[in-house]
């Protein structure tokens, strides 16, 4: 079972990295959250019943762990403010306008609540509303409602940051 688990995790670890990067600004925090998600995945792996895709189940465990961690951190004083240094983007072939828009989007997303971050992450991963609902455990209709609210909130946040 352990060997099977490690193989599946290795093949799908990108999911965990994405979740960690959207919930944590600092590399150290991302590593801690990554480890916590792995622990939770291992604990709940025996109960995985293959009723959904493994990636769907993995997203659900990872997001629930991240949201729990996010809520716990919200109760503690802020350790470090968000700065542009913490929001380093991988250098790719972007023009400066596109790069600036991505920075603004990242800053706006960082101000969303835990569930909002989960939904937008999955939406940006091109997941269908049905799969987002499956992963987050909310209804498809509520995903649509939340997505509309998130889009409005992001537009407002991005306009105020200009």
Cβ–Cβ under 8 Å, residues 103 and 110 = no
What is the pLDDT, as a whole number, of residue 72?
Answer: 66
What is the pLDDT, as a whole number, of residue 161?
Answer: 60
Instruction: Give span(s): CATH 1.10.10.10, the chain.
Output: 84-162
What is the pLDDT, as a whole number, of residue 37?
Answer: 94
Please calculate the CA angle 138-139-143 and round it to the nearest 5 degrees.
80
CATH number of 1-81, picked from 3.40.50.720, 3.40.50.300, 1.10.10.10, 1.10.1740.10: 1.10.1740.10
Token pair 């937008």: residue: 120
Q: Which residues contact 32 (CB under 8 A, 6 or more apart)?
A: 24
What is the pLDDT, as a whole number, of residue 146?
Answer: 93
Instruction: Give span(s): CATH 1.10.1740.10, the chain.
Output: 1-81
Spans of the chain, pLDDT less than 50: 77-94
- Please tell us whether the domain made up of 84-162 is placed in CATH 1.10.150.20: no
pTM reported for the whole predicted model: 0.59
């Amino acid at each position: 079972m352990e060997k099977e688990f490690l193989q599946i995790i290795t093949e799908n670890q990108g999911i965990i990295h994405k979740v960690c990067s959207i919930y944590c600004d600092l590399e150290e925090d991302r590593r801690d959250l990554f480890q916590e998600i792995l622990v939770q995945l291992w604990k709940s792996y025996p109960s995985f019943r293959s009723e959904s895709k493994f990636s769907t189940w993995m997203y659900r465990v990872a997001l629930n762990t991240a949201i729990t961690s996010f809520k716990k951190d919200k109760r503690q004083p802020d350790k470090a403010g968000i700065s542009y240094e913490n929001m380093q983007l991988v250098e790719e072939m972007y023009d400066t306008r596109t790069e600036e828009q991505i920075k603004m989007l990242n800053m706006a997303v960082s101000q969303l609540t835990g569930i909002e971050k989960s939904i937008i992450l999955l939406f940006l991963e091109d997941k269908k509303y049905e799969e987002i609902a499956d992963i987050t455990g909310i209804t498809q209709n509520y995903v649509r409602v939340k997505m509309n609210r998130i889009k409005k909130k992001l537009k407002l946040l991005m306009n105020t940051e200009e």
